[in-house]
Structure 1
């Protein structure tokens, strides 16, 4: 790889990783808000209205920063990756147009009602707007994941032109949309987003409960978010397994990199942790013998294709990095399952809100889903290398021909400075809203303490 390719990949990885902090939060948080406002309509309990109002303010902040950070990537397609843009323009153009028409317009159109509609529209209309914003955020993920999944498993296209003028054109729109990996990857992304949003709510209200502030409100919110988080954490096991099965079928070199499996055709172990020595082409670590073979084929004898089955030029370029990011993602996923099940058990036993030590853990747990989401994308994208469109277009051939290394350096530094400032602003505003809290009267939650109303829904 030359300097321009390395720098361009670093720049795009940095911008998309920073942007990807926000869309999962907005998708997951929107779902939790639907639950809160739905309970308000069902019960008439003002606690749920107050919670919804509070989290809408935070949702608006996340949405705004997410939009601002996402614009940059579209320009990078044209500046750093012009050859790639020419090659996939017909595919990406249709998917991104659908995202703008069917998703972003829906989400942003109803966002105004969501934020400013209190006391201006009826509660049912406002709830409808909350649902539409949630659906819009989820539909936005649909088209972005479809476009990215097409790069992983191209379908419904043909190639026109030759050499530098070659490009992919759609022959079957729905085959492109439902390419072999899109459904599995979309469900995995959605569930990861639900975890990110619900753990943000859990983190904030665990902090309040630990500090003994907004207790009545926080107990309600914690139970709602814990329900979403527990279901999502368990569901991620199934979506992750289906996604891995799809990778084994459609991108076997990537799967081999996930587990550091080099033997061209042999039963494969499943590593819990380890290190890949790429020079010796071997892994040392803690493993389940023949575990990967059983996970993929439900037996202990079927061989799994390894990295030596592929020419070196077609193998993932950073096997140990892919191995580590993949296993860290899985480890965090299992930790989320354990944490949510423990809290759910304590809730069932009636002792959840007596465990201050648990609230200390949950108050910082917001980082775990974010790390898992980021690591999952690193695994998927770096594991696809050296292809930017799997089996069709190499990353080295996708670069703009006229961009120089010093130009990429300058823009990378500039974006880094701007994004750091945006992140500082985001954390400052988020911290300010959290410190203010969901109550207009701060420590006077007893005024609306619904625990005195014998509400059977969550108490």
Structure 2
């Protein structure tokens, strides 16, 4: 026990904990922000095309959590960047020239576009033309994808470095195209963006199911639930496909990560896929107490072959020790094993939930979800499922980042060489301060969202795409400007 406590108090471990926890919070907020922006844009598009005021009311309603998530994402994202200079100065020195272009694209390009056009959309109701106003929101949605592309370009380089040269102990770009056109970038962006859209779909559905169960505006929220299920089903299914091909690429470039995710210590040919295991899997003790396997399925998934060989952790450790020198190159196997199953299991469950909801909604088009035992059960399950996409995202992030250990940059820079030379007390203080700010911001944001959603759908009687602001009565015309601003809240 003393050794465990001592190890937990090193500057390296505290820095890793700080970056991991703050990233998980920020990543969750960003996923919700991207997904909700896409859904609000779809809702406004349907209102613009049909003129049906129910779509406008839903647009205004779901804009509330979208805007709050965007605000939380700004706070958590800006604070997170400080850690590169505070806790990871070795990483920043080594990789500064590589990260410059992607971070400039994200900060000066995508984030600036997001902020400007979100402001135009927020304050442009009834001022901008209907097409221009709608285009502002779709521009925000596209900019969020570009922002994700920029960040994931940098992260993909850490997973599979390309187009660089080591000059005076630092990595420098020699081929910009190799940096931005890394095949891993496309798969990663597709997977992350589709997962974010699935996250937004689950949140839209959860809110709609909550309101339908309360008996509030059932017809309108049934429309929102139908859109959420349809979009979520497509996005979720495609995310699983993109994630599969990401895994295939990882087997090629990061075989230790995928072997650890399967707790596969011994090389197998063909290799079985472990569905569920109980027992000691931190080291190679032999067979776990319980291990439910599907014969040859891992070989089929990894190499599209029923008899291909999949390298195990033990053989990979020997290979890495010969290539990189003495040391352990095995990541935290239990963490990766269960994170991988949380990711895949939660994602697959959400796809099934979207399919179930769409079947219920399409089966009786004129009825509400309150009819029948299946509908009532669905209304209970859907709000609880709002947690699942964040569990899946956390599992995926842990597999991607923890599976690369002990490398900060695969094959180039060890994590222990990337951390700043700081006293433990300083890192512990920053950990407490950062977590306090992140948790306080998130809790305040969630409470605000809960309060705003409880107000129900805003009124929009008589509003049209040409005149989206419900006109006040004659005696209230002096407050018309306030009404125009409040339309987005």
Q: Equivalent residue of 1:328, what SS?
A: helix
Separation in 2 of the partners of 1:98 and 1:314? 36
Does 2:135 correspond to 1:128?
yes
- Displacement, 1:319? 0.8
Which whole-Å deviations, capped at 9, do the CAs of 1:72-106 have from their partners, x for residues lacking one? Answer: 22111011111100011011111100112331111
Determine which of 318, 322, 334 is the counterpart of 1:320. Answer: 334
Q: Equivalent residue of 1:300, what SS?
A: coil
- Displacement, 1:249? 0.8
Q: How does 1:13-162 map to 2 (within 5 A)?
A: 13-161=20-168
Question: Number of residues paired by the alignment?
Answer: 439
- Tell me which residue corresponds to 1:290: 296
Compute the TM-score of the two structures, normalised by the length of structure 2: 0.87
- Tell me which residue corresponds to 1:299: 305
Single out whichever of 256-265 and 42-51 deviates more from structure 2: 256-265
Determine which of 237, 240, 243 is the counterpart of 1:240. Answer: 243
Separation in 1 of the partners of 2:154 and 2:271? 31
Determine which of 397, 418, 437 is the counterpart of 2:417. Answer: 397
- Tell me which residue corresponds to 1:270: 273
Separation in 1 of the partners of 2:283 and 2:138? 52
- Tell me which residue corresponds to 1:190: 193
Determine which of 237, 255, 258 is the counterpart of 2:258. Answer: 255
Separation in 2 of the partners of 1:35 and 1:418? 33
Q: Is the 8 A contact 1:7 1:409 kept in 2?
A: yes
Q: Is the 8 A contact 2:339 2:398 kept in 1?
A: yes
- Calculate the aligned-residue CA RMSD, in Å: 1.8
Separation in 1 of the partners of 2:250 and 2:136? 37
Compute the TM-score of the two structures, normalised by the length of structure 1: 0.92
Q: Is the 8 A contact 1:316 1:384 kept in 2?
A: no
- Tell me which residue corresponds to 1:451: none
Does 2:423 correspond to 1:416?
no
- Tell me which residue corresponds to 1:429: 448
Q: Is the 8 A contact 1:158 1:170 kept in 2?
A: yes
Separation in 2 of the partners of 1:281 and 1:324? 18
Separation in 2 of the partners of 1:43 and 1:50? 13
Consecutive unaligned residues of structure 2, counting only runs of 5 or more, are 1-6, 319-326, 464-489
Q: Equivalent residue of 2:179, what SS?
A: helix
Q: Equivalent residue of 1:384, what SS?
A: coil
- Tell me which residue corresponds to 2:206: 203
Separation in 2 of the partners of 1:31 and 1:420? 26
Q: Equivalent residue of 1:118, what SS?
A: coil
Does 2:243 correspond to 1:227?
no
Separation in 2 of the partners of 1:386 and 1:399? 12
Separation in 1 of the partners of 2:155 and 2:363? 44
- Displacement, 1:180? 3.9
Consecutive unaligned residues of structure 1, counting only runs of 5 or more, are 449-459
Q: Is the 8 A contact 1:343 1:352 kept in 2?
A: no
- Displacement, 1:178? 2.0
- Displacement, 1:281? 4.4
Determine which of 213, 217, 232 is the counterpart of 2:216. Answer: 213
Separation in 1 of the partners of 2:115 and 2:406? 37
Does 2:314 correspond to 1:308?
yes
Q: Equivalent residue of 1:285, what SS?
A: strand
Which whole-Å deviations, capped at 9, do the CAs of 1:122-167 have from their partners, x for residues lacking one? Answer: 2111110110010011111000111111100111111111xxxx11
Separation in 2 of the partners of 1:238 and 1:60? 30
Q: Is the 8 A contact 2:60 2:458 kept in 1?
A: no
Q: Equivalent residue of 1:279, what SS?
A: coil
Q: Equivalent residue of 1:53, what SS?
A: helix
- Tell me which residue corresponds to 1:330: 344
Q: Equivalent residue of 2:148, what SS?
A: helix
Separation in 2 of the partners of 1:424 and 1:27? 20
Separation in 2 of the partners of 1:420 and 1:236? 29
Separation in 2 of the partners of 1:422 and 1:240? 31
- Tell me which residue corresponds to 1:454: none
- Displacement, 1:440? 3.7
Q: Is the 8 A contact 1:60 1:115 kept in 2?
A: no
Separation in 1 of the partners of 2:430 and 2:100? 25
Q: Equivalent residue of 1:257, what SS?
A: helix
- Tell me which residue corresponds to 1:453: none
Q: Equivalent residue of 1:346, what SS?
A: helix
Q: Is the 8 A contact 2:406 2:415 kept in 1?
A: yes
Separation in 2 of the partners of 1:49 and 1:316? 53
Which whole-Å deviations, capped at 9, do the CAs of 1:394-419 have from their partners, x for residues lacking one? Answer: 00111112x11111111111122222
Separation in 2 of the partners of 1:411 and 1:100? 24
- Displacement, 1:436? 0.7
Which whole-Å deviations, capped at 9, do the CAs of 1:33-81 have from their partners, x for residues lacking one? Answer: 1211111111111111111112222211110110101112211101111
Separation in 1 of the partners of 2:300 and 2:64? 47
Single out whichever of 411-420 and 78-87 deviates more from structure 2: 411-420
- Tell me which residue corresponds to 1:359: 379
Separation in 2 of the partners of 1:440 and 1:49? 9
Structure scoring higher RCO (CA < 8 A, sep ≥ 6) equals: 2
Q: Is the 8 A contact 1:155 1:176 kept in 2?
A: yes
